[in-house]
Amino acid sequence: MAKRKTSKRRYRMITFKVFDDTDSDILDWWEGIDEGERSDALRDLIRGYLGKQPRRSKLLTIPELLEVRQDTLWIRDALNEMPGYLERLVQHVAANGVAQIAIQPEARAPANGIVLQPTEPALSDNDSDRRARRMKRSQW
CB 128 within 8 A of CB 95: yes
Please, are residues 122 and 98 in contact by the beta-carbon 8 Å criterion?
A: yes
- Length of the chain (residues): 140
Helix (H) or strand (E) holding 35: none
Residue 132 CB contacts under 8 Å (≥ 6 apart), including other chains: 91, 94
Per residue in 12-42, pLDDT tens? 888 889 999 999 898 888 888 888 888 888 8
More confident of the two residues 85 and 120: 85
DSSP letter for 46, please: H
pTM over 0.85: no
Contact, 29 vs 80, CB < 8 A?
no
Q: What is the pLDDT of residues 60-72, one digit of tens each?
A: 566 777 788 888 9
Residue range 100-128: mean pLDDT, rounded: 60
